[in-house]
Every structure is written in C-alpha cells, then in structure tokens.
Amino acid sequence: MSNKMWGGRFGAGPGAIMKQINQSISFDQRLYQQDIAGSKAHCAMLAATKIILQQDADKIMVGLDQVFAEIEDGNFSFSEDLEDIHMNVESRLTEILGSVAGRLHTARSRNDQVATDFKLYVREACDHIDGQLAELQMALAKKAERYADAVMPGFTHLQTAQPVTFGHHMMAYVEMFARDRSRFSDARTRMNESPLGAAALAGTSFPIDREMTAKALGFDRPTANSLDSVSDRDFALETLSAATISGVHLSRLAEEIVVWCSAGFKFISLSDAYTTGSSIMPQKRNPDAAELVRAKAGRVAASFSGLVMVMKGLPLAYSKDMQEDKEATFDALDNFSLMLAAMSGMVDDMTPDRDRLEQAAGQGFSTATDIADWLVRVLGMPFRDAHHVTGSIVALAEGQDKMLHELSLDEMQQVEKQITEDIFTVLSVQSSSQSRTSYGGTSPTNVKKMAQGWIKRLEKEGKPV
C-alpha cells in the first residue's frame, strides 16, 4: 500500500529497511510544540489572505489544539510509518477533521516546515543556554567576591609563575563565559529569520504573507531566498560551534577542579553532592561530575564536527542527508545544558583551602618578578638587567634550598650590592598580589570590584534558567 501522505506517485509502500532508515519520528517528535506553533501561524495566514475559508481555518485551529493536548497528556500514538512529526500531526488532524485538514498544507512543504520547526527549537535552546551561562557566571562571581583575597599560585606551563588570587582565577572564567554568551546571542540574531513560506524550494504561487507568519512566530523577518531557506543549517552549526567553544571552557575548568581536588594539590574540596566513592578503596572521593563535564565537551565537539561533515557536500536545496542534523544537535544541546548545570553546582559547592593555597603560592620562587620590578622601580635598573640579577638571586636561593624571603640581605647584596632592606616588602605573596593594581590585575581590590560589578549586572539581567 502506498503512503497516503505522499500521494499517488508510489504504488507500493517502502520496505522494512527503508522504513527504518527513513523515519525520524523516534527523535523529532520532540519538535511537536514548534510544529504545531508553525502550523497555527500558517493556518491563520492562509485565512487572512483568503487562501482558505475562515471557517475551515477555525476548525483546523481547534484540531491542532486537540493534537497538542493529546501529545502533552501522553495520549498520542506516534507512528514510524508516518516518518516524522509533521506527517504524524497531519495524519491525526485528518482523523479528527476529515478532508478539511488537508487545506493546512496549502502553500507549504515539509522542507520549509522542518526548517522552521528546527530553527524555533534551536532558538529556544539558545535562550535557555544563555540563562544557564548567566547562572554559572553568578556562581563564579560570588565565589570570586568571597575569595577575592585568597592568594594562590598562578601557573604557566603548569609551573608556578606568580601569585594570583582565587577570586581572580574565578573571574577569568566569568569573562570566558561572557564571550560564550555573546556567541550564542550572535547566533540567535542571525538565525531569527523565518523559512516558512519558502515551500519545497521555489516559493509558492499562492498570495501568502510571509511577514505575517514571521511576526507570529517571533522572527525578525522572513528569509530572502527560498533555496537558501530550506537548505540552510548554518543556525544549527553556529549554535553547535558556540557550544563547542563554551564546552572547551567548561572542560578547562573541569580539569582544574580535578587537579585541585587531587592529593598533590588539595586546593579545594567538593561535597558528597558532586563526588563518588570507590567500590574497593574506601578512602577515595572522586570528582566524577567534573570528569564527566570534561568528557562531554568532546561529545559536543563531535556533534559539531559530524554536522559539518553532513553539510559539506550537499548541493542546493534539500537532501535527506539533512535529517541527520537533529539527533546530533539534540544530543549536543542536551548534554551541554547538563554540563552547565553540573558546573554551576560544583562552583557553588566547592570550598577553597585558604591556607593550602597560600602555602602553594609561595613555592617555586613565585615572587621573583616582584624582585625584578623592585630593582627597576627603586634602583632604576633596566628591566633586562633586573631580570638577570633576579635570576642570579633565584639560583642562589635554589642552591641553598631556601625560599626567596628566607635569603638574608647580605646574601642578596652579594648578587647586587645596591639592594636594601626595603626589598623584603615585595617578597610575600600577599604583597605581590596586592601590588597588581593595573586594570584587569589580580589585586584583591580589583577582583572584588569586578566581581561585585558582574553580580549587579547579572542581577539586573534577571535571566531565567
């Protein structure tokens, strides 16, 4: 038996394998809200332009509400024989209304339907993600405000470099996630054009009003080219690209949490809420939530790469290959949302160890740059000369297995006779961090001001999650 939704071109139905590979209802049924919203906007436009009778449109609207209610209540039976969400909804609408339901598909195609539905879904996901990123920024900013003066080692090459503060480290991620939010915002702006009315690929001969349907669905305008309208998946690619970059940021923070929780660092602790134990080693507390965030970042990136590969060789306009866009996007955005929720929870949950952080900050000759700066500032020495003198002082301390502040004045004067007692004022990790008052620097005053500024900004936004 031919599929009645296809029309009379086919004399027989598809084979079992064809059904299996062709169907998308197993995953695109989640688009039912967007599909029915698009259908209602299209139906209202058809009536307003007198393409269909108002009385028919009224019946279709009531029928679509019934279909929506059945799906919401779990009373709707999805059928793989009907391939996708569009044909499942239309088939049920036909059962409810009879032949009048067939008027709904006037001047549209599944091609512009799916592009519209998918855009609506991705747009909503961008809004939700923005709220989650704002929540993570708030957790980081509050942690930064509380620990603005907690000195810790700053690293380059994972080697101790200079003292920074824990708050400054948290604020670095606030800035990263701010850029991520701007990328999602940019993607949302570019995607906010309606494909509805492009039909299969060439537009339609009916006198439709695409501005009306675009406005009804919250789009800024209709898309300008019907071929591009149905073949474009840039909006999904750009959103997945933004998620991939943000996932990298989440993974870097997750990696630091894993390292900081380890016995070699002990910089922070996590509660039972975000750790697990071992089946054989009772002493273990594993930062599994952070490890899974780190892993899922790769999963999101793989979804982006996969969709790039799907799209790279497709001629205009629509090809069935594009059905592969949804599973990858759904999976990536679902997991990215989970990553954000987990990271917000971990940031809020983690407790830094101030004493351990300060102890570690003083190791590795972390205030060596402060000595060089002092030589330039107080003695007027060229920085390259000061760098050489400081290197000699570090070598002296290292040879005696001492910290820099443990060297005597006489010992430092053996390297540079002009050094005075005043140099000891810059050797502590606290004085080092406090001195970095340049804009964007790690001084506690700077950090607290930046953290409080972000908190006020985020509170003003009042982003829902």
> Under a CB-based contact definition with an 8 Å cutoff, are residues 402 and 391 in contact?
no
Of the listed 262, 278, 305, 319, which one is catalytic?
278
- Separation of alpha carbons 364 and 200, rounded Å: 66
Enumerate helices (H) and strands (E) in the chain, giving the number of each: 18, 6
Q: How would you classify residue 61: left for phi > 0, otherwise alpha for psi between -120 and 50, otherwise beta?
A: alpha
Q: Please tell me the distance from the alpha carbon of residue 17 to that of residue 19, in angstroms, as a whole number.
A: 5
Distance CA 98, CA 127 (A): 38
Question: Annotated catalytic residue: which of 157, 205, 279, 408?
Answer: 157
Burial 190-217 (b: 16+ CB within 10 A, else e): ebbbbbbbbbebebbeeebbbebbbbbb
157 in catalytic set: yes
Greatest extent of the chain over all pairs of C-alpha atoms, in Å: 100
List, in sequence order, every beta strand (DSSP E) within 175-265.
193-194, 221-222
Structure-block tokens of residue 295: 């892993």
Question: How many beta carbons lie within 10 A of that of residue 179, not counting itself?
Answer: 12
Give the integer Cα–Cα distance in Å for 246 and 179: 9
DSSP code, position 428: S
CA distance 429 to 358: 8
Q: Give strand pairing partners of 352.
A: 268
User: What CA–CA distance (Å, rounded) separates 445 from 434?
Assistant: 8
Q: Is the peptide bond before 317 cis (omega within 30 degrees of 0)?
A: yes
Structure tokens belonging to residue 132: 């989650």
Q: Single out the residue of 84, 133, 142 nearest to residue 113, CA to CA.
A: 84
* Integer angstrom CA distances of residue 190 from 119, 196, 214, 250, 304: 11, 16, 14, 25, 18
The answer to whether 39 is a known catalytic residue is: no
**Which of the residues are catalytic?**
157, 278
